[in-house]
């Protein structure tokens, strides 16, 4: 494959539904040839796979053949791809660590195979949890120790024995069997982004089973319907937050065994939660002894050789997506996590890096289409993502895929048949950046309502976005959570309901609540929250590392703060739950985007409609408005269904939520009817018609 252009004339390539794409966005007609060329290359790749392996379904189950497999008769079959190797051996407990006693047989196309018969007593030569290593003899006759790229269980040794992961055979006598059916794909995705290791209150690494028992019920109570699990694919360095993958088929043993992760996912399904995996196919760790780097003794194999194979900022290796066997490895990796662990979908990390040769570094991405159709575009990366999305959606109709892309490339979230890349959603990464920038640089009274509305609504038509005010990126050391930006001066002294009144805390909770609701209501077609931010977690996130004396103090979640009835964290937690509950009833996330009917810079008021609800926000630090007119699309009687001024949300109880409101037949803003409302400063209110409430 090698990334060569299709031999077809791009203008003649049939893209089944390209006219749908071009009619929706006529500006793309200038780039129709580029779109057709990408699709032609996608077809070439798929046709080559079909010619070599029958079809994509067969091709993407390579995990059944590659790696080390114990058969029903206790024999062992093993297979590897190591094109740069001179010889390959298996060593371990089973042969007393003799490096060259158990050779693989060389096959065609850089593949190697090994067959081990059962022992004389019929038992398997590779016991459950026994340790093995691959030995690669390179062309300098050096014997290199490696782990199989397909290893499905690797563990960290005791600190006294070093840091290199050990591959162990995972073949338990009793395999975990799933008890609960998968939930259907939610119409409205309300995602709880979480990390198993930091999910315990104690200063240590949490476990899969603790998370299943203690955290999943919390997530359900908060009315989220999906979880996104981070740092699951095995990574050598805990502080990398799971983004320096060493073993792509192994789930992190820090938190427990593969079967314990299965139990976590099964419990999530029992609670009706759709489970997303944060999958990292954008790069890989540079580790050689327990990673993919230099696996066959060369700097190529899974990666581009030389400069193109290095990510300068992440200090990691970059995959060669044009290589047939790399496609087999990565596409099968997606199938593996669905079929072995029952994951429901994926959030693809680092998509921007995959789309551009620059890896997105130093690019501002103004939005001009020339930025998305030029020689900087890494077409091999694009085509890999097209194949991945095509395969996943074809085999698993209930799947969801999310792209972490900051560039805004057109078509990322449109079907491959239109010439798109095939994702269901992209992360609306400009939104959290906007909130942090405002909190860092601008006084409340100088916030521009028009800029806020623009940031929240500026997304491509019919390309769905996941809105969020903060994710793990905003919580990491070097930055602060929104709650900490708002209240850090008094968060340790004035968060008790028994303490003296604090203007800082009152302002902080009020703005935290407004930011959450307007992001949830206006920012996208799905919503995401990072673990703990639903109650304004008071501290940043920092993993144990040399720079902090290996401390776990900031790598934990202080659940007691949300649970303590005399602390004000409960107000933000209640608000978060109330928003999700209201969305569950009205479904604004899967409704048409919100229509902003009013934004007033001096009053600091924003009004928008979505899903038969009217959202009213007053961001003004001091001005409250009685009899404030708002335009109403439909005449009738309206009731307040959510008000941030309620006492349970930390409000001042200035609004009587039992009062009914009536429209008047007078035009206002964009509508033929208006309604007079009382909207106090730093307050959000949601109205619904009484027949719909």
Q: Which residue blocks in 247-374 are alpha helix, DSSP H?
A: 258-270, 324-339, 351-355
Write down the domain spans for the chain. 62-168, 187-280, 595-689
By DSSP bridging, strand 613-618 and strand 683-689 are antiparallel
Q: How many CB atoms lie within 10 A of CB 492?
A: 10
pLDDT of 480 reads 86
pLDDT of 3 reads 41
Q: Give yes or no for a contact between 134 and 66, defined as CB atoms under 8 angstroms apart.
A: no
By DSSP bridging, strand 143-146 and strand 131-137 are antiparallel
Q: What is the SS3 assignment for 451?
A: helix
Q: What is the mean pLDDT of residues 210-218?
A: 98
Give 587-606 pLDDT, tens digit per residue.
999 999 999 999 999 999 99
Percent of the chain at pLDDT above 90? 92
Q: What is the CA radius of gyration of the chain?
A: 27
- What is the spatial distance between Cα 25 and Cα 686, in angstroms, rounded to a whole number? 33
Q: Give yes or no for a contact between 94 and 125, defined as CB atoms under 8 angstroms apart.
A: yes
The number of residues making up the chain comes to: 693
Instruction: Say if 62-168 and 595-689 have the same CATH topology.
Output: yes
CA 17, distance to chain mean position in Å, is: 28
Q: What is the SS3 assignment for 282?
A: coil
- Residue closest to 462 by CA, chosen among 619, 561, 592: 592
The mean pLDDT value of the chain amounts to 95
pLDDT of 37 reads 95
In this structure, of 2-6, 8-12, 356-360, the range with the lowest mean pLDDT score is 2-6
- What is the spatial distance between Cα 136 and Cα 87, in angstroms, rounded to a whole number? 6
Phi-psi region of 122 (alpha: psi -120 to 50; beta: other; left: phi over 0): left
DSSP state of 356: B
Q: What is the mean pLDDT of residues 366-392?
A: 96
Report pTM. 0.96
- What is the spatial distance between Cα 453 and Cα 143, in angstroms, rounded to a whole number? 61
Alpha-carbon dihedral 22, 24, 27, 32, rounded to 10 degrees: -10
φ, ψ of residue 425 in degrees (nearest 5): -145, 160
Classify each residue of 570-606 as buried b or exposed e, where b means 16 or more C-beta atoms within 10 Å of its C-beta. bbbbbbbbbbbebbeebebbebebbebbbbbeebbbb
Q: How many CB atoms lie within 10 A of CB 271?
A: 17
CA 319, distance to chain mean position in Å, is: 20
Q: What is the SS3 assignment for 33?
A: helix
Q: What is the mean pLDDT of residues 35-54?
A: 95
**CATH T-level topology, domain 62-168:** Immunoglobulin-like (2.60.40)
Q: Which pLDDT band holds residue 11 (cuts at 50, 70, 90)?
A: low
Q: Give yes or no for a contact between 371 and 397, defined as CB atoms under 8 angstroms apart.
A: no
Taking 80 as the threshold, does the pLDDT of residue 82 lie above it? Answer: yes
Residue from 80, 349, 405, 646 carrying the catalytic annotation: 349
Q: Is 202 labeled as catalytic in the residue annotation?
A: no
Beta strands in 23-83, from DSSP E residues, in sequence order: 67-70, 76-81
> Tokens at residue 607, please?
């009004």
pLDDT of 9 reads 66
**Is the domain covering 187-280 a CATH 1.10.10.10 domain?**
no
- What is the spatial distance between Cα 319 and Cα 310, in angstroms, rounded to a whole number? 9
Q: Which pLDDT band holds residue 639 (cuts at 50, 70, 90)?
A: very high
Residue with the larger pLDDT of the pair 186 and 241 = 186
Q: Give yes or no for a contact between 433 and 452, defined as CB atoms under 8 angstroms apart.
A: no
**CATH T-level topology, domain 595-689:** Immunoglobulin-like (2.60.40)
Q: What is the SS3 assignment for 157?
A: coil
Give 111-144 pLDDT, tens digit per residue.
999 999 999 999 999 999 999 999 999 999 999 9
Q: Give yes or no for a contact between 490 and 502, defined as CB atoms under 8 angstroms apart.
A: yes
Taking 80 as the threshold, does the pLDDT of residue 693 lie above it? Answer: no
- What is the spatial distance between Cα 384 and Cα 463, in angstroms, rounded to a whole number? 20
Taking 70 as the threshold, does the pLDDT of residue 1 lie above it? Answer: no
- What is the spatial distance between Cα 109 and Cα 99, in angstroms, rounded to a whole number? 24
Q: Which pLDDT band holds residue 672 (cuts at 50, 70, 90)?
A: very high
Q: Is 349 labeled as catalytic in the residue annotation?
A: yes
Question: Tokens 């044009």 identify what position?
Answer: 322
Give 462-507 pLDDT, tens digit per residue.
999 999 999 888 877 778 899 999 999 899 999 999 999 999 999 9
Residue from 296, 404, 539, 646 carrying the catalytic annotation: 404
Q: Give yes or no for a contact between 666 and 627, defined as CB atoms under 8 angstroms apart.
A: no
């Amino acid at each position: 494959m090698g990334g060569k252009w299709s031999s077809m004339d791009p203008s003649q390539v049939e893209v089944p539904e390209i006219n749908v794409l071009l009619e929706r966005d006529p500006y793309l007609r200038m780039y129709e040839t580029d779109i057709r060329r990408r699709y032609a290359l996608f077809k070439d790749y798929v046709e080559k796979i079909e010619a070599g392996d029958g079809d994509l379904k067969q091709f993407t189950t390579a995990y059944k053949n590659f790696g080390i497999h114990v058969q029903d008769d206790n024999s062992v079959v093993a297979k590897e791809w190591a094109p740069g190797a001179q010889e390959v051996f298996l060593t371990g407990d089973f042969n007393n660590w003799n490096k060259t006693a158990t050779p693989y047989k060389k096959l065609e196309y850089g593949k190697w195979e090994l067959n081990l018969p059962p022992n004389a007593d019929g038992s398997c030569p590779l016991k459950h949890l026994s340790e093995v290593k691959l030995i690669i003899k390179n062309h300098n006759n050096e014997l290199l120790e490696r782990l199989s790229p397909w290893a499905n269980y690797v563990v960290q040794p005791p600190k006294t024995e070093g840091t290199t992961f050990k591959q162990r055979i995972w073949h338990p006598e009793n395999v975990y069997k799933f008890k609960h059916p998968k939930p259907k794909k939610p119409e409205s995705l309300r995602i709880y982004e979480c990390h198993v290791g930091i999910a315990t209150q104690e200063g240590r690494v949490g476990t899969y089973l603790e998370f299943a028992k203690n955290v999943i019920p919390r997530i359900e109570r908060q009315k989220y319907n999906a979880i996104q699990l981070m740092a699951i694919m095995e990574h050598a360095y805990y502080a990398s937050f799971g983004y320096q993958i060493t073993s792509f088929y192994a789930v992190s043993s820090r938190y427990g065994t593969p079967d314990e992760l299965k139990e976590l996912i099964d419990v999530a399904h029992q609670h009706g939660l759709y489970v997303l995996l944060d999958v990292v196919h954008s790069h890989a760790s540079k580790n050689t002894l327990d990673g993919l780097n230099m696996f066959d003794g060369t700097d190529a194999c899974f990666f581009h050789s030389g400069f193109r194979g290095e990510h300068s900022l992440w200090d990691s290796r970059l995959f060669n997506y044009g290589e047939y066997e790399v496609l087999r490895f990565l596409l099968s990796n997606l199938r593996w996590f669905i079929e072995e662990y029952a994951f429901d979908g994926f959030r693809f990390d680092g998509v921007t890096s995959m789309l551009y040769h620059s890896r997105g570094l130093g690019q501002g991405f103004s939005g001009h289409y020339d930025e998305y159709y030029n020689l900087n575009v890494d077409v091999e990366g694009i085509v890999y993502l097209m194949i991945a999305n095509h395969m996943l959606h074809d085999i698993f109709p209930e799947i969801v895929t999310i792209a972490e892309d900051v560039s805004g490339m057109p078509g990322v979230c449109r079907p491959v048949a239109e010439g798109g890349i095939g994702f269901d959603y992209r992360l609306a990464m400009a939104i959290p950046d906007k909130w942090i920038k405002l909190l860092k640089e601008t006084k409340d009274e100088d916030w521009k309502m028009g800029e806020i509305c623009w940031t929240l609504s500026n997304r491509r038509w019919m390309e769905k976005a996941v809105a969020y005010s903060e994710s793990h990126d905003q919580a990491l050391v070097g930055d602060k959570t929104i709650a900490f930006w708002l209240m850090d001066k008094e968060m340790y002294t004035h968060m008790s309901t028994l303490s003296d009144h604090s203007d800082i805390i009152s302002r902080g909770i009020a703005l935290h609540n407004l930011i959450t609701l307007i992001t949830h209501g206006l920012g996208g077609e799905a919503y995401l929250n990072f673990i703990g931010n639903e109650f304004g977690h008071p501290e940043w996130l920092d993993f144990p590392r040399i720079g902090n004396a290996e401390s776990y103090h900031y790598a934990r979640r202080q659940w007691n703060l949300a649970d303590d009835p005399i602390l004000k964290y409960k107000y933000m937690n209640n608000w978060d739950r109330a928003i999700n509950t209201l969305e569950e009833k009205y479904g604004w996330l899967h409704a048409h985007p919100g229509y902003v009917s009013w934004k007033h810079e001096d009053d600091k008021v924003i009004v928008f409609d979505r899903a038969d609800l009217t959202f009213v926000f007053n961001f003004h630090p001091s001005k409250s408005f009685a009899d404030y007119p708002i335009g109403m699309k439909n005449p009738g009687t309206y009731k307040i269904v959510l008000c941030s001024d309620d006492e349970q949300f930390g409000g001042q109880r200035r609004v009587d939520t039992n009062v009914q409101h009536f429209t008047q037949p007078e035009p206002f803003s964009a509508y033929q009817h208006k309604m007079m409302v009382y909207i106090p400063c730093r307050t959000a209110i949601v109205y619904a018609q009484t027949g719909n409430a």
